[in-house]
A and B are shown apart, each in its own frame.
Chain A
Amino acid sequence: MDDQTTGAIDGSPDVVDAAEETKPHTTNVVVWDIPSAIVVGERFRIKVGMKCSDECDLANSPFGIYDNGLQGSEAGSGIRDPGSEEETGIRDQGTREGKRVATGKLSSDLWPGTTGLYVAEVELEAPSEEGLYTWSAKALGSDGEIPHADGSVSFGVRVVSHPEYLVTVETVDKESQTPLSGARVVMHPYKAVTDERGIAQVRVAKGAYRLFVSQSRYLTFGLPVEVAADMTARAELYVEPVQERN
């Protein structure tokens, strides 16, 4: 170890070692695969990953999921105006303790493509009231010999009432008029992906949306829509021209 070597040169290796032993490792927390819109009271699943700054084995490490309340609500400890010049709510969130809604333990699996991110999938229940909530995932420390500082991360949970209208979107290549499968249809916060016939169905609440359909190598299709009944839309996508280098 470099530090030990340095300590030996300084003639005080024991002091250095002692300091090393008491310094907790950092744990970084990641949360993903959060559905963009969750119907009130329904169960949903997210993924939680944690990594130790020294790549310790975090298998079976415990974590908690906390509901910090509705964003913008004074009662909740949600995100403050993100544009604030001061330390933002986001930076604060990890230190705030909301209502614990779940606990879990990491598996012994590393997330594919990572070198030390231990992962778990958690099933959760959406609040019974619609709105955008701030939740957080927090490492609960470990019983091992090396202490780990509590890492945490916050994330948004969008809870919606039962969307009543069905929007059917047909997507084709403008030039060939052939269906585009795998295109992403977004009517924030609702999303769907087109099937092999180029069709996607999105169930949305009444309201005004901007309908986006995007696909790799194509220019995104955008259309303002007012939804007050079931409806259909056709999106014709242009291949994006390659900018010439001259």
Chain B
Amino acid sequence: MARKKDSDQKDPKRQGEKSVTRRDFVKAGAAASVGAGAAVLTTSGTALTQVSPTEAVRWTYEADVVVIGAGCTGLPAAIRARDLGASVIVIDQNFDPGGKMLHSGGQISLGGGDPLQLRDIKGEGDKEGFVTAPRQQTVAELTEDTDFLFRDHTDWSVMDTAAQAPYRYNERDLHRAYADNCYATREFLMANYVRMGRISGTHGNGGMSRARRAVTFFMEGPTTDVKKGTISKQDAGIAGKSSSHFAPRFMEDGTKVASKGARTNGAALARPLEFSAREKGVRFILNRHMDEIIREQQFSGRVVGIRASYSPRFDPSGARLESLWQNGNIDDRTETIYIRARKAIIIGAGGHGANPQFRSMFYPAWREPAFVSSGWALLGPRGQDASGIIAGMRVGANLAGMQQNLSYGSTFHFPGNLATRDPYTDMLPGHPTFSMRGSTGINLLTDSFQHLIVVNQVGKRFFNEMLVTTRQGGAAFPAGPGKGQPKKGLDHVQLDWRNASVENIKATYSEPNSVHAALAMNEGSKAPDFFSGPIWAIFDRAAVERDKWNIDPPFTSLTNGFFFKADTIEELAAKILKGHEFQRVPLTYLKETVAKWNSYVDKGSDPDFARGSDAPMHRIDTPPFYAAAFYPVWHDSYGGLRINGRAQVIDMQGEPIPGLFAGGESSGGGNQHGLGRALVHGYIAGTNAVKETT
């Protein structure tokens, strides 16, 4: 494991009040357009006072590079900058690093002839002997170069099954750099304790033409040891019982991609990167929310630092939540601190999926505050709040790719996990934030929806329940009609007009519309926001027994407001109204809806939503009766700060904002799902940030 010695690095330091020197102050300039004390609106709607441009800023800490967010962009950026000799401070609003990456599936699609594609082409394993599974793809399916990858990621012709073009609008400079840095990023990950298995397919708008996805893993062992690549069974999670602080979600079996005993998900990516960052001397200030980026003048000059507020989280006993590892932490509980960035600031603060006002720019019905972004409990109330994007906008940044939220199928969808507010995440007890969600959820497969009905906030059905969790697949290798393309696998042709022909779109179009139906206005929607309100799955005891659902804790909770049990339907409706935070109106029609449903079952047909053709219908009549929250989730964020191929944030005149970098879901212009995009951005940003001059 190569590690650069950093004896000449300047460490970040807190400025002692008595030793403050001239360096510790910055004159923000007198020509700024915003006056002292000008009120600006934060994401929460709180009026904050912007630091006066004419007022001296007293820096609490300083470092060469300040990274906002310890997630999928921030951690690689921090490590890379540190490797290149910079002192680095990473702040994160949460109590533990990892961001959304920590609860991800750990799937990384890169490509362009990256080291893992080459490894599989040669039929080799890894040096540690963990990867012994046979190759998943043919040599041809793995063979490409960076130009080929670049074309794939900017292919105007590709249409997905919702007739959206996921590659057409990608920023070209950004994706040229992406293609050119995939090799180095994959190598960088492996050099920082990240183990990845065989290449298998490509996921989520990662390109149509070649296989590029590898999944991160640990091997089960007696202890968890990041250096050795092992994880204890307890840390990896016990199926149906527990997850852990180390891995918030149960880690899946990785036999097929590595070997027997492999356990996969994002913990096998996030924890190694965090471990390596700490080992290399990156400093972390956790529980710290970035509220403002400070620029010399609001719309000109360099960015010089940030203002950040204390954002601790507490468990129900009142104890502050603490990070898994402490080395490298700076535990500063001051309400407000200022951190100077000598060279650069890198925004890796995540997306906007949990900011109803921001996301409603794309889809007004998503202003409904009940619905959250994935990882809600893990990330806390300020996760995915668009603060990185908003802070960039406040110093003049342009935006990019704002419409691309609409061209990825899991941006918003119904995951099918009932009785929890965060249905994307199936966290089990064992992680410190489990108490925030209170329940893992009843995770149903599609076929199980034959046993229930789904109703809106007034108790009316709105869609065929058998189709309600159908997701539009991401347009990626191996292409084919299921991905919106006329040809599959190696037969797919880049830049071919036939891919976008009307005939092909007619043949492949299959956008699932259940979320749109769920968000529709109903009798309970009131001006000015016309919220559609919560969604409820209604079922009875017979359904539970018929399909063998486990509705006991930890899968449900009768106290968290997302699961209710009652002797009668009338009582059930009353309990929901009383016990659920976002149930603003009575479920006036629920009793009538259930009675109507039962009459349809008796008749064997559903004139309202055409149930009965793909699965039998079942009466809902056996007490007790249940209502489980059935929530959609905003998973991905597309659209954010415009960045160039060096990951520099670009202003409204098309010029880089000096010293300001961004990536991942804080940035826009790239429609690729998941980790690959953010990791490469982080790697590029870290590389270029250290080249900045003070």
Contacts and interface: CB of A to CB of B under 8 A. Distances in A.
A243 interface: yes
A33 B622 contact: yes
Interface string B158-181: 000000000000000000000000
B604 A111 contact: no
A33 B426 CA distance: 34
B383 interface: no
Interface stretch (A122-130, A150-158, A168-176, A197-205): A150-158
Contact of B445 (A31, A188, A240): A240
Interface stretch (A1-9, A60-68, A217-225): A217-225
Interface residues of B, number: 54
A79 B599 contact: yes
Contact of A246 (B104, B565, B603, B623): B104
A155 B445 contact: no
A11 interface: no
Interface in A33-79: 33-34, 36, 49, 51, 79
Contacts of B203: 246
B13 to A, nearest CB: 40
B567 A242 contact: no
B107 A246 contact: yes
B542 to A, nearest CB: 8
A32 B543 CA distance: 13
Contact of A82 (B447, B569, B599): B599
Nearest to A117: B567
Contact of A113 (B541, B598, B614): B541
A111 B623 contact: yes
B673 interface: yes
A103 interface: no
Contacts of B604: 188-189
B598 A156 contact: yes
A88 B592 contact: yes
Given A82-B596, A116-B567, A220-B616, A30 B621 contact: yes
B447 A219 contact: yes
B471 A83 contact: no
A212 B616 contact: yes
A32 B623 contact: yes
B416 to A, nearest CB: 7
B547 A216 contact: yes
- Among B105, B204, B567, B569, chain A packs the most CB atoms within 10 A around the CB of B567
A214 B105 contact: no
B603 A132 contact: yes
- The main secondary structure of chain B at its interface with chain A is loop
Contacts of A210: 612-613
A115 B673 contact: no
Contacts of A219: 447
Interface string A76-93: 000100110000101100
B674 interface: yes
Given A246-B105, A246-B204, A34 B621 contact: yes
A214 B450 contact: yes
Nearest to A93: B595
Nearest to B594: A90
A155 B621 contact: yes
Nearest to A154: B595
Nearest to B621: A32
A115 B623 CA distance: 11
Contact of B623 (A30, A132, A217): A30
A45 to B, nearest CB: 14
B548 A216 contact: yes
Contact of B471 (A28, A111, A240, A243): A243
Interface in B458-506: 469, 471
Contacts, number: 125
Contacts of A116: 567
A75 B603 CA distance: 19
B440 to A, nearest CB: 13
Contacts of B613: 210, 222
A227 interface: no
B592 A113 contact: no
A211 to B, nearest CB: 10
A36 B604 CA distance: 10
A244 B105 contact: yes
Contacts of A114: 567, 623-624
A222 B614 contact: yes
A209 to B, nearest CB: 10
B615 A212 contact: yes
A64 to B, nearest CB: 19
A188, A189, A222: most-surrounded residue (chain B CB, <10 A): A188
Contacts of B600: 82
B213 to A, nearest CB: 9
B447 A214 contact: yes
A82 B249 CA distance: 44
Q: Which of B425, B548, B603 has the most CB of A within 10 A?
A: B603
A199 to B, nearest CB: 18
B599 A218 contact: no
B167 to A, nearest CB: 19
Contacts of B425: 245
A184 interface: yes
Most buried by B among A90, A115, A222: A90
Contacts of B570: 26, 28
Nearest to B617: A188
A243 B448 CA distance: 13
Given A83-B608, A113-B623, A28 B568 contact: yes
Given A28-B571, A111-B623, A132-B603, A184 B546 contact: yes
Interface in A96-132: 111, 113-117, 132
A202 B674 CA distance: 50
Contacts of B546: 184, 216
Given A51-B567, A246-B203, A82 B607 contact: yes
5 contacts: A28-B571, A113-B624, A188-B616, A219-B447, A245-B415
User: Top 5 nearest A-B pairs by Cβ distance?
Assistant: A156-B602, A246-B105, A188-B604, A186-B616, A28-B568
